[in-house]
Amino acid sequence: MAKTQKYVYFFGGKKAEGKADMKALLGGKGANLAEMVNIGLPVPAGFTITTEVCTYYYKNNHKYPKELKAQVLNALKKVEKEMGAVFGDPKNPLLVSVRSGARASMPGMMDTILNLGLNDVTVQGLIEKTNNPRFAYDSYRRFVQMYGDVVLGLKPKDKHEHDPFEVIIENKKHSKGVKLDTELTADDLKELVQEFKTAIKEKTGHDFPDDPMEQLWGAIGAVFGSWMNERAIVYRKLNNIPEWWGTAVNVQSMVFGNMGEDSGTGVAFTRDPATGENVFYGEYLFNAQGEDVVAGIRTPHPISELAKENPALYKQLDNIRKILEKHYKDMMDIEFTIQQGKLWMLQCRVGKRTGFAAIKMAVDMVKERLISKEEAILRIEPNQLNQLLRPIFDSEEKKKAVESGRLIAKGLNAGPGAASGKVALSAQDAEEMAKNGDKVILVRIETSPEDIKGMNAAEGILTARGGMTSHAALVARQMGKVCVAGCGALKINYADRSISVEGRDDVYIKEGDYISIDGSTGEVILGKLETKPSEVIQVLITKTLDPKDSPTFQTYNSLMNWADSIRRLKVRTNADQPDQASNAIAFGAEGIGLCRTEHMFFGENRIMSVRKMIVADTVEERKAALSELLPLQREDFEGIFRVMKGYPVTIRTLDPPLHEFLPHTEKEINELAQALGISYQTLKAKIDSLHEFNPMLGFRGCRLGVLYPEITEMQARAIIEAAINVMNEGVKVKPEIMIPLVGHVNEFKLQEDIVRRVADEVMKEKGKKIDYLVGTMIELPRAAVTADEIATRAEFFSFGTNDLTQTTFGLSRDDAGKFLPLYVQQEILPADPFETIDQQGVGKLVEMGTKLGRSSRPNLKVGICGEHGGEPASVEFCHRTGLDYVSCSPFRVPIARLAAARAVLNERTTKTTKSKVAAKPKAKSAGKTKAKAKKKSTK
C-alpha cells in the first residue's frame, strides 16, 4: 500500500518530527523550531504544514491535499496534550498563533494571526486561567482585529485608507476621555470586540467565525494566500527567491509575556552583531508582548540588566545561548517569552551581522574550536574585509543623514571606504585646502593626470563622469582613496564654483561646503559625517599602532594566514610608486603585476617632459625629451626594485591614451609652448593635428613604440640600468617587461627585439648579466584568439581586462558610466562588466587566450592586471581558469587573497558534489544488478 504523504510535522515536548536541515520542506522558522525541540530547549508545542502544501494549494485552485485535514487534527491533539489545554475548550482553552515561514526569511512580507481560538466562550476560560480580564479581552480584541484585517480582508489597501478597527478604537478612546490604548478598561475592550464584529458583519455580510476550527482553517488559508501578495512578490524578486519554493505555515501554542510582572519578552543575539564581541546582546521587557519591543512603544532594557533583575532567568537564557552556539556553530538571533516565570523559545535563526562582526566571529569560532579554518573562510565575503581596512561612517549617523533627506545622489562605488570633507572643485584648491588642515573631497567632472596631486591631498574623489575603470577610479584605488565615480546627477559648474543636483532643487553646494561620500555604496551625502579609521591600517600602513595592542589586527592576521595556507593563486599588485608598492607588500602582495610607466609622470613637472615627447616633430626633439625622462624613470624603477626585494616586478612600456596626456587649457598650452620655445599657435596646431576621435582605440599602447622605437629604447634602458644598479646594492631583482595593446605577433616581435637589443647593450656596458622576461598584455580580442602565435615569442601573458572588456563589448570604459547602471538596473546585463568579469563573453577570451598560449609555451606564466584582479567573483574565475596570479590595487590585495582561498574551497565542494552525483547512478545500477542477480538465483 502506498505510504500517505506527510504534510504536517509536529514539534514540542522532547522530540520534533522535523529538523534544521529540512528548511526546504518546513521553512526556516519551522525547521529551527523543530531543531530547538530536538536539542532540549523549551519551545511551545505546535506543528508545521509543509511548503509542499503551498505548492499544491496554488496548483489546485486553492484546495488542500485530502490528507491534510486529518493530519492537522492529529497534530493539534498532540499539541493539546503537550500544553495541557484544549483548542476551543470553554474552561481551559488552547490558543495558537498562525505564521508563515519560507525557506529564506522574508521579514514582514506575509501574514500572521495571534491569539487564535478565542470567542465569547473561550475568553471566559482565559479569564479564569489568568485571573486577568483586561489581558483576556485585550488578547481577544487584538485577535478579532488581526483576523478581520488579514483573513477577512478589511486591511486598508494603501496608506490613504483608514483601518476601520483603528477608527473604532479612536472613537472609543474619545468617548471614554482617554489618550492611550493602555488606559482602556476590560469592559471598554469587551465593547470593542463587539463593535469590531459588527463592523466585520457590515463590511463582509458575514458573522465573525466563532468556531475555533473555522478560525484555524481561515488563518491557514490566509497565510498561504499571502505568499502571493504584492509585497511578497516584490520582495522575492528583489532577493532572488523563487516562487516555487512556497511558504510553510506554523501553528504554535501561544505563550504570553504580558501576564504580569513575572512575564516578559525579548529578542537577542548570541554575540554582538555589530562588533562580533562574544557577549550576549539583546533587549527585553517585562509584562509586554513582542510587538511592544519591536514597535518601540516602551524602551526595552539591555539583556545584561536581566542578570541583575532576575539572575535565575538570565542564567537559563545564557545557558540556552551556549547550547545554541555549540549546536549551530554560528551566531544566532533568538526570540523568547517568559510566561509567569517560565522561559519559552519562539524563534532562532542565524543572525545577520556587519562585515566586521562576521570576520571577528568566524576567527573567534575557529579559536574556540567551533568551526574549522575552512569554514571560517567560507563564511566571510571577501569584500567584508573592507570594513577592517577602510575608514567607515558611523552607521547610526549615516542612517540619520539618509532619513533626513541628505542622500542627494548615487554614483559608482569605485573606491571603497568613507570620506567626509570640504568640496574642492580643482586639484589646486584641494591641495591648498589640505595644506590649511582641511579634509577635502575633490569633486571633478572627470579627472586627468594633472589632478594627481589634488587627488593625493584629498580624502576622497567624486566625479560626474567615468566608469569603474576610468582614470579617476583606477588611480584612486591604487592610491587607496575613497572614490565615487560617474555620478551623473551632479551638475558641476567650474565657473561659479558650485554644484547642483538633478532632481534636487533644494540642493546647492558651494566650494568649501561639506560633503560625504561612501565609496562602498556610491552614495553622496550632504554635510559632514564622522568617519572611523581602521586599526589594521594603523598597524600596517601608518605604523602608528603596535600589532600587540590591536586584537582587530590579530583577527585580520589569523584570517589572512589561513587564506594563504589554502590558496593556489598568487596575488600581485598594480603599483607605480615605491610607497604604493610598500603598502601592497604590507597587505601581502607577492610582486607587482602592473607598473604603468605613464603614471610615473603624473604630477610635478614630469608631465611636461611627456608632453614634449608626445608633441615632438623630429626624432631629435623626441630624443631630447626622452633624455629628460630617462633618469627620472631609472630612479623610479630603482625605488620600486628596492621595495620589492626580489619579488617579480612587471613594468609595462608606455601606454598613454593621448587625450589624457595632451594639454587642454590655454594655460597648460602656454606653459608647454614656453618650455618648447615655440608659439602658442604652433603648439595648438600640433595638438589639433594629434586629435583623435577614439583615443582609447587610437595611438596608444605598443603602437607608440612601433612608430617611435626610441621611446621603447629609453624605457628598456631605464629598466635594465635600474635593475643592475639595485642588484649591485645586493638586492635581488626580477624585472618583467610587458608590451601593451598588442594585437598581432609582429607588433610584439618588433618591441621585443628592441628590448632585448637594449638590454644586451646595457649589460655589456655595465659588465653584469641579469635575468629578465619579456611578455605582453592580452587586452584585445585579436590577441586572445591568436595567443598561440604570440606565445611563441612572449614569455608571459597578463590579461588587461579593462581594455579587453572595452574592446569585446565595443563599450568605452570612460563613458560607460552614463548608461551601464541602467543596463544593470534593467537586468540587460547581470552586473557592470568593468567591475566583475563578464565570464560568458570576456571570460571566454581569457580562457581561450590561456589555453592557446600554453599550447605553444606550456610553462607560460599567465596573470590578470585589469581592475577585475581585485574583485572576488573575478578572482574565483581566474582560479578556475588556471591563471598563475591576479594583480590588483594595494588595498584590494587582502580581498584577493581571501577570494583566492575561497576559490579553492568552493572548487573542492563542487568536485565533491559532482563526484557524489556521478557516483549515484553507479550505486543505483549496482543495486539493480544485485536485485537482478537475486531474482535470477531465486529462479
> Which parts are annotated binding residues for Mg(2+)?
779, 803
Please choose which of ligand PEP, Mg ion, none residue 594 contacts, taking the beta carbon within 5 to 8 angstroms, the exact cut-off set by kind.
ligand PEP
Which of the 8 DSSP states describes residue 380? S
Question: Quick one: 801 or 839, whose CB is closer to ligand PEP?
Answer: 801
CB of 844 to Mg ion, least distance (A): 19
Q: Can residue 801 be called a binding residue for ligand PEP (CB under 6 A)? A: yes
Q: How far apart are CA 539 and CA 557, in angstroms?
A: 11
Question: Quick one: 223 or 804, whose CB is closer to Mg ion?
Answer: 804
Please choose which of ligand PEP, Mg ion, none residue 736 contacts, taking the beta carbon within 5 to 8 angstroms, the exact cut-off set by kind.
none
**Among the listed residues 111, 431, 803, 884, the single contact to ligand PEP using CB under 6 A:** 803
Binding residues for substrate: 596, 652, 779, 800-803
CB of 814 to Mg ion, least distance (A): 12
Q: Can residue 865 be called a binding residue for ligand PEP (CB under 6 A)? A: yes
Dihedral angle, C-alpha 907, 912, 914, 918, nearest 10 °:
160
CB of 825 to ligand PEP, least distance (A): 25
CB of 664 to ligand PEP, least distance (A): 20
Please choose which of ligand PEP, Mg ion, none residue 371 contacts, taking the beta carbon within 5 to 8 angstroms, the exact cut-off set by kind.
none
CB of 882 to Mg ion, least distance (A): 22
Please choose which of Mg ion, ligand PEP, none residue 854 contacts, taking the beta carbon within 5 to 8 angstroms, the exact cut-off set by kind.
none
Q: Is 471 a catalytic residue?
A: yes
Closest CA to 51 of 26, 68, 72: 26
Question: Quick one: 337 or 802, whose CB is closer to ligand PEP?
Answer: 802
Q: Can residue 866 be called a binding residue for ligand PEP (CB under 6 A)? A: yes
**Among the listed residues 226, 253, 802, 836, the single contact to ligand PEP using CB under 6 A:** 802
Among the residue ranges 537-545, 624-632, 659-667, 798-806, the one whose residues contact ligand PEP (CB under 6 A): 798-806
Please choose which of Mg ion, ligand PEP, none residue 212 contacts, taking the beta carbon within 5 to 8 angstroms, the exact cut-off set by kind.
none
Integer angstrom CA distances of residue 650 from 93, 597, 627, 736: 78, 10, 23, 4
CB of 740 to Mg ion, least distance (A): 6
The amino acid that residue 81 corresponds to is K
Residue written as cell 601573458?
797
HSE on the CB side for 702, CA within 13 Å? 26
The phi and psi torsions of 99 (rounded to 5 degrees) equal: -135, 155
Measure CA 39 to chain center.
33
Crossing angle, helix 619-644 and helix 578-586, to 10 degrees?
30
Among the residue ranges 286-294, 575-583, 797-805, 904-912, the one whose residues contact ligand PEP (CB under 6 A): 797-805
Please choose which of ligand PEP, Mg ion, none residue 531 contacts, taking the beta carbon within 5 to 8 angstroms, the exact cut-off set by kind.
none
**Among the listed residues 82, 431, 451, 779, the single contact to ligand PEP using CB under 6 A:** 779
Q: How far apart are CA 43 and CA 754, in angstroms?
A: 78
The C-alpha cell of 614 is what?
A: 608626445
Q: Can residue 594 be called a binding residue for ligand PEP (CB under 6 A)? A: yes
The C-alpha cell of 145 is what?
A: 482585529
Q: Are 212 and 122 in contact (CB under 8 A)?
A: yes
Among the residue ranges 478-486, 498-506, 801-809, 854-862, the one whose residues contact ligand PEP (CB under 6 A): 801-809
Please choose which of ligand PEP, Mg ion, none residue 866 contacts, taking the beta carbon within 5 to 8 angstroms, the exact cut-off set by kind.
ligand PEP
CB of 877 to ligand PEP, least distance (A): 15
Question: Quick one: 85 or 468, whose CB is closer to ligand PEP?
Answer: 468
Question: Quick one: 427 or 473, whose CB is closer to Mg ion?
Answer: 473
Among the residue ranges 241-249, 275-283, 438-446, 794-802, the one whose residues contact ligand PEP (CB under 6 A): 794-802
Among the residue ranges 57-65, 392-400, 725-733, 796-804, the one whose residues contact ligand PEP (CB under 6 A): 796-804
The C-alpha cell of 592 is what?
A: 607587482
**Among the listed residues 591, 800, 853, 890, the single contact to ligand PEP using CB under 6 A:** 800
Measure CA 116 to chain center.
41
Question: Quick one: 283 or 815, whose CB is closer to ligand PEP?
Answer: 815
Question: Quick one: 658 or 727, whose CB is closer to ligand PEP?
Answer: 658
Q: How far apart are CA 219 and CA 207, in angstroms?
A: 16
Burial class (CB in 10 A: 0-12, 13-18, 19+), 436: exposed
User: Which residues from 75-134 bind ligand PEP, rule CB under 6 A?
Assistant: none
Q: How far apart are CA 267 and CA 337, in angstroms?
A: 9
Binding residues: 596, 652, 779, 800-803
Measure CA 502 to chain center.
28
Please choose which of Mg ion, ligand PEP, none residue 865 contacts, taking the beta carbon within 5 to 8 angstroms, the exact cut-off set by kind.
ligand PEP
Q: How far apart are CA 343 and CA 186, in angstroms?
A: 27
Q: How far apart are CA 586 and CA 894, in angstroms?
A: 10
Helix or strand or coil: residue 625?
A: helix
Q: Are 758 and 671 in contact (CB under 8 A)?
A: no
524: which strand partners? 409, 517
Catalytic residue among 348, 471, 595, 599: 471
**Among the listed residues 271, 379, 596, 892, the single contact to ligand PEP using CB under 6 A:** 596
CB of 412 to ligand PEP, least distance (A): 16
Report how many residues bind ligand PEP under the rule CB under 6 A. Answer: 10
Q: Can residue 838 be called a binding residue for ligand PEP (CB under 6 A)? A: no
Integer angstrom CA distances of residue 812 from 93, 468, 476, 702, 742: 71, 11, 19, 20, 18
Integer angstrom CA distances of residue 409 from 463, 465, 819: 12, 13, 16
The phi and psi torsions of 529 (rounded to 5 degrees) equal: -140, 135
Cα dihedral sign, 467-472-474-476? negative
Cα radius of gyration rounded to whole Å, the chain: 34
Q: Can residue 509 be called a binding residue for ligand PEP (CB under 6 A)? A: no
Among the residue ranges 78-86, 486-494, 533-541, 799-807, the one whose residues contact ligand PEP (CB under 6 A): 799-807
Question: Quick one: 150 or 783, whose CB is closer to Mg ion?
Answer: 783
Residue with CB nearest Mg ion?
803
Q: Please give the full DSSP string across 140-193, using - where no structure is assigned.
A: HHHHHHHHHHHTS--S-SSTTSPPHHHHHHHHHHHHHT-SSGGG--HHHHHHHH
Please choose which of Mg ion, ligand PEP, none residue 801 contacts, taking the beta carbon within 5 to 8 angstroms, the exact cut-off set by kind.
ligand PEP
Residue written as cell 473555522?
214
CB of 592 to Mg ion, least distance (A): 16
Please choose which of ligand PEP, Mg ion, none residue 669 contacts, taking the beta carbon within 5 to 8 angstroms, the exact cut-off set by kind.
none
Catalytic residue among 54, 595, 702, 865: 865
In this structure, which long-range contacts are made by residues 370-373, counting pairs with CB atoms below 8 Å and at least 24 apart in sequence? 370/325, 370/326, 370/329, 371/329, 373/562, 373/565, 373/566
User: Which residues from 654-673 bind ligand PEP, rule CB under 6 A?
Assistant: 655
Which of the 8 DSSP states describes residue 576? S
CB of 781 to ligand PEP, least distance (A): 13
Question: Quick one: 252 or 801, whose CB is closer to Mg ion?
Answer: 801
Question: Quick one: 35 or 598, whose CB is closer to Mg ion?
Answer: 598
Q: Are 540 and 552 in contact (CB under 8 A)?
A: no
CB of 866 to ligand PEP, least distance (A): 3
Please choose which of Mg ion, ligand PEP, none residue 515 contacts, taking the beta carbon within 5 to 8 angstroms, the exact cut-off set by kind.
none
Question: Quick one: 115 or 806, whose CB is closer to ligand PEP?
Answer: 806
The C-alpha cell of 618 is what?
A: 623630429
Q: How far apart are CA 379 and CA 331, in angstroms?
A: 12
**Total length of the chain:** 939
User: Which residues contact Mg ion by CB under 5 A?
Assistant: 779, 800, 803
Q: How far apart are CA 783 and CA 315, in angstroms?
A: 68
Which active-site residues does the annotation give? 471, 865
Binding site for ligand PEP (CB under 6 A): 594, 596, 655, 779, 800-803, 865-866
